[in-house]
Amino acid sequence: MLSVRSLRVDYGHVQALRGVNLEAREGEITAIIGSNGAGKTSTLMAISGLAPVTEGEILFRGAPITGRPAHEITTLGITQILEGRQLFDRARSHVRAHRLADGRALHGPGAPHGPGNRPDHPQPA
């Protein structure tokens, strides 16, 4: 599903990544683990189109996405949610996680308030 081959990322004269290879197959969980400064964030930023790829290629479902702008990559379903930045209210995140686990919708009556699902914004019929 997602292949990273011989990836290199440079920030100016600083080489952040060299020779990174990664395979993420559909239906499997893939983790990138390493110490601070190991290149985890740079790898994810390159996949998301937010870091410059100096060498190598990134393929999604067999098609190259290397060098595509981030707004195009997100339309493929590839995105990042930063951890530990307090982007979501804890209670709402908990409700959403349970609704997802239970297979219930996140929109409509009783859903947590969010973009397009607020009482002051009418829902389309």
What pLDDT digit, counting tens, does each position of 59-70 carry? 999 999 999 999
Q: Give tens-digit pLDDT for 74-83.
A: 999 888 877 6
DSSP character for 59?
Answer: E
d(Cα 12, Cα 96) in Å, to the nearest integer? 41
pTM: 0.65
CATH assignment of 2-74, given 3.40.50.1970, 3.30.565.10, 3.40.50.300, 3.40.50.720? 3.40.50.300
Q: Where exactly are the structural domains of the chain?
A: 2-74, 86-125
Starting at the earlier edge strand, list the strands of the sheet with 53-60: 14-24, 2-11, 53-60, 63-64
